[in-house]
Amino acid sequence: MSGTLAALIPSAGGTLSNELRDHTERVIVRLRDPYFRVMLTQLTLKDWTEVLEEELLPLRERLVIAFQFLEDKALSSYLRRTTDRACTHGDIAGLIIAGLTHTGMDILQGYVDRTGDVQTAAVLAAHVSHAKFADARAERWVETYRDLLDVFKFFHHRVAFDIERGQILQDAVQNGDLAPFEWAPKQILIRCNYCSKPMNTLLDGVQKGRVSTGIFQYDALVLSTR
């Protein structure tokens, strides 16, 4: 390895002989360390494109190389290809490029299909749906994760998750990213003691003294007035 580098580095600015190129290509195939491989590849081919296709390198390191050495057009093309590949293979590292967007949800869908890790998908999706945009898949992951916590009797963890998610939505409303809405229906029904007419609108979901909020269930409180 050291002999190959000693031969390549002085030739970094010139053209390699066919013998040296053939020898280097044979060495590259045998190397298991991806960093040695990309180093020899770049010294041999003088082209960062081949280096960026080395998938054993962490994506964040390949992105550093791409931003440093690629022209704008080539960089845009590389980012698109990498994002498409992340969607196809469910590579969650692709969120570095896509972010928590609709494309990011596509990446998460591939990740869940590949790993079954609904917890990671639910926690990430809770930061955007519905705070930034609505996505049926995100809601399904969240509800599945909540049901899973209930099955395992991790009620405190499920409540903590609901509280954090509610805080995200509240912040979105306060920042103007989300229109104000009723997160949980009203839970008090005021009824006249003489005519039994409700003083406020009867709420959907009030059945047999229970109120379902979609997150928790509470005992319905019925007040009488004279």
State pLDDT tens for residues 73-115.
999 999 999 999 999 999 999 999 999 999 999 999 999 999 9
What's the pLDDT score for residue 2?
A: 56
What's the pLDDT score for residue 34?
A: 84
pLDDT in tens, 194-223: 777 776 654 444 443 443 344 433 344 444
Rounded mean pLDDT, 45-73: 89
Pairing mode, strands 188-192 and 206-207: unpaired
Q: Which tokens in the block code for residue 219?
A: 């005992």
Mean pLDDT of the chain: 78
Q: Per mean pLDDT, which of 8-22, 131-145, 164-178 is the most reliable?
A: 131-145
Rounded mean pLDDT, 38-65: 85
The yes-or-no verdict on residue 49 having pLDDT over 90 is no
Rounded mean pLDDT, 25-42: 77
Which range (3-12, 13-22, 34-43, 168-177) has the least confidence?
A: 3-12
What's the pLDDT score for residue 15?
A: 61
- Report the percent of the chain where pLDDT is more than 70: 70
What's the pLDDT score for residue 78?
A: 95
